[in-house]
Structures are given as structure tokens and as C-alpha cells.
Amino acid sequence: MYKNLIQNFSKIALAAVFMTSLSSCYIRISESAIQRMKESIQVGSDSPTMQTFHPESYRNIDLTTGFMDIEFVQSDSAVRVEVTTSADLIGKIRVETIDGTLVNDFDDLPTRIFGSEHKIVVYGPLPDSLILNGGGDALIQEIEGDSLYLSMNGSGDVRFKRAELSGGLTLNLIGSGDLEAGMLRCGTLTLSRTGSGDTRLAGSTGKAQFSRVGSGDVDASELVAASVEVLHNSGSGELIYNLNGEKIDLEED
């Protein structure tokens, strides 16, 4: 017992010395270093402000969502992008078209970001491809045209309101973000889903092609397809599809 008391006393003494050394180190931090630390954890204000960009027309869209939500609105008018965020962050965001691809970039963002609204809204023609990376959510308003390739990599959720495409809709989804697409009408639908995110599809298509890996569920029970091809199905998730009105719950390969 006496030995245990000595050991416990030693541990307490060492902890006290350690805390004292930390305190002394803190006291020695210069004012300039403290200011730099404050700047590195600057947070966005609660008052949102909007800036409108007018980039050149594009063929493709490739956006890093980061902390920003994305909305795409198909429009025949000139391309414009509305960015809404806190006043002290608005000047750190750039939007431009490079080699036919609409992109965004961020300059020296703080470590933590707060604020009531952070959003990018793109108004323009339907792109050949829409690539999204990050944790922001995406809303795709009513679209129509020939075809669209959509790639989402990250934790952000994607929602289609309506899509009418005479050609094909290709969905390449990676990560934990969910996708919900209702009122789909397309010649072909190709889905590649990897990760833990869930996918829910509804509407109709001539041919549906599925590939699923991971714990995420794919529920295409409300997507009526004239023909279905399952290229791969593995993991703990579930795949349900609809072949000419018959709902089929497919077991793992």
C-alpha cells in the first residue's frame, strides 16, 4: 500500500511539473504569434452577403463544394454564378471558366467557418459533365436535354428534382453522401455506387445498369426499366430494381 501511495504521488508531481511547463511556455508566446493564431481560427460572420460572377460559357462543371452547398439551375441566358456566404469570406472565393470547365477555388480559408448560409448557385446550360467534390449538399433543379454525367465524391447529399434526358444519365457516386432522384425520364441510366451513401431512384428508363460496392443501399424500385443489367453487387447494402413493373431485391453477388 505504501508503495502504491509513493507511485501515485510521483505521478501527481510529474503532472504538476508538466502543467507548469506548459504554462510557462504559454507566457513566452509573443504578441505577434498570438495574433497569427487568432487569424488562423477566424470564423465567418452571421450576416450573409452575395456576389455574382459572370464567367465564360462552359462545357463541363467541376466544383469543390467544401463547406458550400451547390444548386444548378438550367438556363438559356448568359452564365452567371451567385455565391452567398459571410461578408468576411466572400472575397476568398473565385469562380471562373478554364479550358471549357467552370471551376471554383478558395483562398486561405480559416480553420473554422460559421455563418447562416454558404451557397453557390450556377445558372447556365446543361453541361456534359457535372463533377462535385466535398461535403456540401447539391440540388439539381429541373433539367432536360441529351445526356449528363454526374460524379459526386464526398459526404454531400445530391437531390434531383426532375430530369428528362433523351440520351443517358450516368451517375458515379463515391463516399457517404446520399442521392435522391425522382421524376427521372432517360433513355439509359448507368449507376456506379461505392461507399456507404444510399441511392433512391424513381421514374422510367429504357435500360438501367447498376454497379454497387459497399454498405450503401440502392433503391430503384420506383424506377421502371425495360431492361436491367447488374454489373457488380457486393457489400452489406441492398440493391432493389424494377424490371417492367416487377420489383426485384437482389442478394449480394
Give yes or no: residues 223 and 238 share one domain.
yes
Cβ contact 60:101 at 8 Å? yes
Q: What is the model's pLDDT at position 42?
A: 45
Sign of the C-alpha dihedral, residues 105, 128, 150, 165?
A: positive
Give yes or no: residues 31 and 57 share one domain.
no
Is the pLDDT score of 1 beyond 60? no
Is the pLDDT score of 33 beyond 80? no
As a whole number of angstroms, the distance between CA 23 and CA 174 comes to 46
Give yes or no: residues 74 and 133 share one domain.
yes
Q: What percent of the chain has pLDDT over 90?
A: 69
Give yes or no: residues 29 and 63 share one domain.
no
Average pLDDT, the chain: 85
Q: What is the pLDDT of residues 187-217, one digit of tens each?
A: 999 999 999 999 999 999 999 999 999 999 9
Which residue, 145, 136, 123, 144, is CA-closest to 61?
A: 123
Predicted model pTM? 0.80
Q: What is the pLDDT of residues 76-85, one digit of tens each?
A: 999 999 999 9
Q: Note down the domain range covering 14.
A: 2-37
Cβ contact 129:151 at 8 Å? yes
| Residue located via cell numbers 467541376 | 62
Is the pLDDT score of 248 beyond 70? yes
Q: Residues 60-71: what's their mean pLDDT? A: 92
Give yes or no: residues 239 and 191 share one domain.
yes
Q: Residues 95-104: what's their mean pLDDT? A: 97
78: buried, middle or exposed (CB in 10 Å: 19+, 13-18, 0-12)? exposed
CA distance readout (Å), 86 to 44, 61, 120, 218, 248: 5, 24, 13, 37, 48
Is the pLDDT score of 19 beyond 60? no
Q: What is the model's pLDDT at position 43?
A: 46
Q: Between 112 and 241, where is the model more confident?
A: 241
Give yes or no: residues 56 and 103 share one domain.
yes
The DSSP 8-state label assigned to residue 19 in this structure reads H
Amino acid at 121: V
Give yes or no: residues 18 and 82 share one domain.
no
Q: Residues 61-79: what's their mean pLDDT? A: 94
Is the pLDDT score of 6 beyond 90? no
Give yes or no: residues 71 and 14 share one domain.
no
Q: What is the model's pLDDT at position 252?
A: 66
Q: Residues 213-230: what's their mean pLDDT? A: 98
CA distance readout (Å), 78 to 57, 122, 196: 8, 11, 38
Amino acid at 166: S
Is the pLDDT score of 67 beyond 50? yes
Q: Residues 53-74: what's their mean pLDDT? A: 95
Q: Confidence band (pLDDT; 50, 70, 90) for 89?
A: confident
Q: How many domains does the chain have?
A: 2
Q: Confidence band (pLDDT; 50, 70, 90) for 90?
A: confident
Which residue, 161, 191, 173, is CA-closest to 131?
A: 173
Q: What is the model's pLDDT at position 60?
A: 99
- Summary count for the chain: helices (H), strands (E): 2, 18
Give the Cβ contact number of residue 170 at 10 Å: 19
Give yes or no: residues 14 and 112 share one domain.
no
The CATH number that applies at residue 86 is: 2.160.20.120
Give yes or no: residues 111 and 10 share one domain.
no
Give yes or no: residues 13 and 58 share one domain.
no
Here the cell at position 174 is: 463515391
Q: What is the model's pLDDT at position 253?
A: 62
Give yes or no: residues 145 and 80 share one domain.
yes
Judged by average pLDDT, the poorest of 1-10, 164-173, 206-215 is 1-10
Cα-flanking dihedrals φ and ψ of residue 213, to 5°?
A: -135, 125
Q: Residues 167-195: what's their mean pLDDT? A: 98
